[in-house]
């Protein structure tokens, strides 16, 4: 769909890396992001980024300066808005009649099926499936015409949308709609989710109890927002976990609110005594395993709680 005569708009464009990648394939790329410091990074690398929240007002300013766009992108930010209708309305205005809108989020079916309870927290206002996103799009005369699945965040779906009747609907959309009908029938997916996460809680509690009995030291790895949900549901705090390792400079030397668990760097980890690490950043399992021998001491047991409990020894 990209060519040198078309324009691409990304909302929640962050540091501009995606638009930088796409830039050679479009006549114009434009980012919209409310974080001034992050938008500055994008502008510094030549990706024009406006510092603001996307809205009707901004869409009108965009049209006035650049005319309408051919492609709109919202990656892992659409679910963070408490009024998706406003966002969708603004996007429908700024897009050309034949334009496409790509919405990527963690896929609700994977979130529930894999027991990814830690991804349910305050920043995620909605959990999108094909069923409910099509319901939203219908109000704006849009529809999902194709899907792309990825493993990002434990399973993500990119919904490719266009004005109704403009593009053929792929077989993948029809097949996914049928599958979702089965998943949601009789609330099966929600009941399975509850059983799965309560069983996980028992298993983690047993690991911590066994560690305590054997004087083993337990820490954790990864301090994303979902780690707070993990600790909350599992009811664990500093008496269970001594520290949490992270690589983000702004998080290091801080503490988890309520739990008092300190966040330390990988460099500081070398000075710590530990036997077991609970991996909060389980969505990077393969990457963590691959570099485990260079970060963790030999014999360390890495506990990956999701999508199923796995204990990996370094």
Q: Residue 287, class by beta-carbon neighbours within 10 Å (0-12 exposed, 13-18 middle, 19+ buried)?
A: exposed
Query: What was the pLDDT predicted at 1?
Result: 60
Query: What was the pLDDT predicted at 182?
Result: 86
pLDDT tens per residue across span 138-190: 999 999 999 999 877 668 899 999 999 999 999 999 999 999 988 888 888 89
Round the average pLDDT of the chain to a whole number and report it: 92
Mean pLDDT of 220-245: 92
Query: What was the pLDDT predicted at 3?
Result: 64
Q: Is the pLDDT of residue 238 over 80?
A: yes
Q: Residue 286, class by beta-carbon neighbours within 10 Å (0-12 exposed, 13-18 middle, 19+ buried)?
A: exposed
Rounded to an integer, what distance in angstroms lies between the CA atom of residue 274 and that of residue 183?
41
The number of beta carbons lying within 10 Å of the beta carbon of residue 296 is 22
Q: Is the pLDDT of residue 2 over 60?
A: no
Query: What was the pLDDT predicted at 255?
Result: 94
Rounded to an integer, what distance in angstroms lies between the CA atom of residue 293 and that of residue 314?
6
pLDDT tens per residue across span 28-44: 999 999 999 999 999 99
The number of beta carbons lying within 10 Å of the beta carbon of residue 306 is 23
Q: Is the pLDDT of residue 77 over 90?
A: no
Determine the Cα angle at 74 with ends 69 and 77, to 5°.
150
Query: What was the pLDDT predicted at 79?
Result: 78
Low-confidence winner among 76-80, 230-234, 287-291 (lowest mean pLDDT): 76-80
The residue assigned the tokens 């290091």 is: 252
Rounded to an integer, what distance in angstroms lies between the CA atom of residue 24 and that of residue 33?
21
Query: What was the pLDDT predicted at 37?
Result: 92
Rounded to an integer, what distance in angstroms lies between the CA atom of residue 186 and that of residue 280?
32
Q: Is the pLDDT of residue 251 over 90?
A: yes
Query: What was the pLDDT predicted at 288?
Result: 94
Q: For the chain, what percent of residues have pLDDT higher than 70?
A: 98
Q: Which tokens sit at 88?
A: 């969708």
Q: Residue 42, class by beta-carbon neighbours within 10 Å (0-12 exposed, 13-18 middle, 19+ buried)?
A: buried
pLDDT tens per residue across span 100-147: 999 998 898 988 988 898 888 777 778 889 999 999 999 999 999 999
Residues 126 and 60 sit within 8 Å (Cβ to Cβ): no
Q: Which tokens sit at 162?
A: 């266009």
DSSP E strand boundaries for the chain: 7-11, 28-33, 49-51, 69-75, 95-106, 142-150, 156-163, 218-221, 244-245, 263-264, 276-279, 301-304, 310-313
Rounded to an integer, what distance in angstroms lies between the CA atom of residue 220 and that of residue 211?
14
208 phi, psi to nearest 5 deg: -70, -40
Look at residues 282, 292, 303, 287 and name the one whose alpha carbon lies nearest to residue 219. 303
Residues 306 and 118 sit within 8 Å (Cβ to Cβ): yes
Query: What was the pLDDT predicted at 187?
Result: 85
Q: Is the pLDDT of residue 59 over 90?
A: yes
Residues 19 and 13 sit within 8 Å (Cβ to Cβ): yes
């Amino acid at each position: 769909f990209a060519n040198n005569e078309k324009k691409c708009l990304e909302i929640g464009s962050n540091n501009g890396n995606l638009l930088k990648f796409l830039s050679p394939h479009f006549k114009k790329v434009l980012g919209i992001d409310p974080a001034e410091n992050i938008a500055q990074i994008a502008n510094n690398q030549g990706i024009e980024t406006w510092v603001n929240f996307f809205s009707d007002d901004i869409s009108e300013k965009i049209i006035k300066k650049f005319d309408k766009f051919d492609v709109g992108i919202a990656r892992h930010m659409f679910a963070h808005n408490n009024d998706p209708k406003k966002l969708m309305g603004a996007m429908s205005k700024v897009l050309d009649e034949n334009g496409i809108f790509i919405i990527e989020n963690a896929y609700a079916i994977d979130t529930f099926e894999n027991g990814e309870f830690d991804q349910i927290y305050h920043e995620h206002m909605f959990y999108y499936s094909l069923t409910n996103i099509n319901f939203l799009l219908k109000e704006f005369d849009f529809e999902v015409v194709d899907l792309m699945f990825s493993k990002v965040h434990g399973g993500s779906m990119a919904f490719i949308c266009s004005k109704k009747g403009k593009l053929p609907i792929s077989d993948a959309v029809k097949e996914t709609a049928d599958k979702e009908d089965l998943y949601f029938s009789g609330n099966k997916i929600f009941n399975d989710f509850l059983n799965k996460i309560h069983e996980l809680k028992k298993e983690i509690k047993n690991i911590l109890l066994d560690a305590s009995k054997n004087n083993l030291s337990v820490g954790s790895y990864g301090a994303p927002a979902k780690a707070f949900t993990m600790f909350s549901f599992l009811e664990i705090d500093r008496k269970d976990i001594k520290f949490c390792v992270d690589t983000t400079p702004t998080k290091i030397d801080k503490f988890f609110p309520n739990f008092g668990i300190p966040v330390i760097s990988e460099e500081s980890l070398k000075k710590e005594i530990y036997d077991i690490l609970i991996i909060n950043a389980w969505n990077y399992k393969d990457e963590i395993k691959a570099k485990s021998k260079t970060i963790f001491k030999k014999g360390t047991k890495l506990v990956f709680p999701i999508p199923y409990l796995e204990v990996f020894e370094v």
